[in-house]
Structure 1
Amino acid sequence: MRQAGKADSPLPEHVEIVEVGPRDGLQSEPVFVPTARKVELINNLVAAGIRHFEATSFVSPRAVPQMRDAREVMDGVDRSTGAKFTALVPNMKGAERAMEAGVDALVLFMSASQSHNLKNVNCPRETSLERFGEICAFAQSASVPVQGAIATSFGCPFEGNVPVEDVVRIAKAYRDMGIRIISLGDTTGMATPPLVQERCRALREAVPEVELTLHFHNTRGVGLVCAYTGLMEGVTRFEASIGGLGGCPFVPRATGNIPTEDLVYMLHECGVETGIDLDKLVTTAEQAESLIGRTLPGQVMKAGPRLKTHPMDMVATANG
């Protein structure tokens, strides 16, 4: 329920969280995570109340070995709650494989900057858009929705600033292909509140019929601040990764996404509903940390919610 005193809040009443940890979070892990453990992680997140997932990607196993079990992951996920599972696809072959696996939507991705697109998918932006037109027509003929992601929407590690006009141009191209959900990816953790405000307003004006999703990394420690800025701009769909897993493999010094449990904690404290059980989410973040075998950057999984109390005998009494 919305917290007392929040009736006049400028924030939305409800936000959708898209969990990207199983794809964006795991893709860079050097040691292959067994399929059964990936499925277990996803299904635990379903049990915590998450209903939107980027579950895997149908890419070349040579390019991203961690995603070589995409079909098997899709076969194992819990669909009993009506949760939706999307998958990233880079080309027609990937789209065909994803549709055969029964994904609820395809996600197309390209970069706003030319240099990152060349590194990330090994082709110019213009080639990406040409391929996407064919994929969209193919998917629409089979009644499979298509979503679009724009990487480096807030900055490029090779070019620096990315003009907002480049982001708008790609968003319009997506719109013209029939895409109605577009994610702005902060691939490099270069987003700042002014950039978030600028890009949200530019896309609202240029493609008002599109639902905007925001995807932030916490590379420079302002991921949640950027998410809050998006909330103030009326965005109601955010991507996050359990425990803060992740980091683009084609970005120098990349760090993880904003942790799902940290984002949900902030939203709940602001009186914004998510339908997610934070306690179960924290437990799943701890399981993800055990799965990966190293400390993850999530904060709420370490400290607990704000009002979590502790026995006084856990702390020594000051002497003197």
Structure 2
Amino acid sequence: MSSAKLGLRARGVLSMRVTGPARITAASFTTSQCRTGAGAYRAHLESFGGRISEQPSPSAQQMGPRRDMKDVANLALSVLLPATFVLPPFSEFPPGLKQKLKMLYTWAIYKIQETATNLAIKIASKPSIFRRALLKTNRSSDILTAKALHRTLAEALAAGDKNTIARICPRKFSAPLLTSIDARPRTRRYGWELVTYTKTAYYPTIKAQRLAPLLPTKGSPILRQVVVAISSRQRRVVYDAQGQVVPGSEKEMDVIENVAIGCIIDGHTYKQGDWRILGSVKPSTLEGHQREKRFAERSNARQQ
């Protein structure tokens, strides 16, 4: 539900969307975020390097021992984990057979790393070799949660409901949204409606599932992030001071969004905390993959 698609600008309802290494932005009406609006703090998180499967989440390592773990968790929830590859629809693959195969190969490498990391963390949650893992995930529940948060945030943005936004969004994501609401013209009200879910044979579907410990120690809290692709038809409208529809403002559109959500898992009990919505993520590109790879290499070089 990008701001451009909804036809609103910064003084309207706020939106964020997500791109390459700097992939999280703020715009004006929706759940969208860009992997860059997070600029400084994303760089802070990413400085650990590019592979979550090889290292714990960068957040805690970079924050230092004096930082409160709650602040570390809030920061970690504010950005998409590096090396999260969101495969685009086939229609958006790069032209040429070679590039298409390269896209699939790159996605497969990321998916293998993601699966191996998640499996290792789940195995580590087993009390003993003969007992079941304490850490459990549920794809159906994840999809329902993403759909609920996606809808709740869009409705809250339209209504200017600051309390709801602050409750379901990480602090770093909610701040620009709240600022945008304050900047709206007082003579305007906004409406948003999810008309129906579309392309239900293919959507919603999970694009990425990530697990990453916040510290390289036993019992460390674990960051969990899920990206769910949602296809829907949405309607937005602008009202004037008299409650009348502004001519030409009522629009209906079909959109596909990769909604990113995250939560913190207790490293001892493996119970999940409350889910937060990070925004919507742009599909990955080969160019973005290369930029993120170079960024990780530079970060690793600085640490050596």
Which structure carries more strand by proportion? Answer: 2
Q: Kindly indicate whether structure 1 or structure 2 has the higher relative contact order, using CA contacts under 8 Å at least 6 residues apart.
A: 2
TM-score (normalizing by structure 1): 0.25
TM-score (normalizing by structure 2): 0.26
